[in-house]
């Protein structure tokens, strides 16, 4: 008996594409917002001229910058996970995972069929 591979990625390509666009926006907007808010806090502390507040603001800015960098690399991590998962299984499964990977990591190139 021949079992056909599920077409989950192909059928749900629009949803995967939306997830890809959301990740893309997060990748760009969240690090910028985090760093801008950190700079504003640091600017307030410098204007207040209190050493304790400046030290606390610098530490907060560094932590926010690290968080921004981590968030920036989340799509890369998702792409790597899709690559690892896509290596297993038959050729039909690899094709499906490539559709998912493309829609999530490069939403502009997602093969969305219009019904």
Task: Tell me the average pLDDT of the chain.
Answer: 79
pLDDT in tens, 25-66: 888 888 788 878 888 888 888 888 888 888 888 888 888 888
Give the model confidence (pLDDT) of 96-109 as tens digits. 778 888 888 888 88
> For residue 9, is it within any domain?
no
User: Hey, how many other C-beta atoms are within 10 angstroms of the C-beta on 99?
Assistant: 21
Burial 9-22 (b: 16+ CB within 10 A, else e): bbeebeebbebbee
Give domain status of residue 77, yes or no: yes
Long-range contacts of 43-49 (CB under 8 A, 24+ apart): none
Q: What is the extent of the structural domain holding 30?
A: 21-100
Give a yes or no: residue 15 inside a domain. Answer: no
Domain count, the chain: 1
Instruction: Answer yes or no: is 74 within a domain.
Output: yes
The reply to whether 113 falls in a domain is: no
| H runs (alpha helix) in 49-90 | 51-72, 74-86
Is 68 part of any domain?
A: yes
Q: In degrees to the nearest 10, what's the CA dihedral of 39, 40, 44, 46?
A: 20
Q: Is 114 domain-assigned?
A: no
Q: What is the pLDDT of residue 1?
A: 38
Q: First vs last Cα of the chain: how many Å apart?
A: 31
């Amino acid at each position: 008996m021949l079992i056909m591979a599920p077409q989950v990625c192909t059928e749900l390509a629009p949803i995967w594409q939306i997830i890809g666009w959301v990740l893309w926006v997060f990748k760009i907007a969240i690090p910028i917002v985090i760093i801008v808010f950190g700079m504003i806090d640091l600017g307030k502390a410098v204007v207040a001229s209190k050493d304790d507040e400046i030290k606390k603001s610098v530490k907060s800015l560094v932590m926010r910058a690290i968080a921004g960098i981590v968030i920036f690399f989340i799509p890369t991590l998702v792409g790597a996970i899709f690559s690892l998962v896509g290596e297993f299984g038959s050729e039909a499964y690899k094709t499906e995972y490539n559709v998912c990977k493309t829609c999530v990591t490069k939403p502009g190139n997602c093969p969305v069929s219009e019904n």
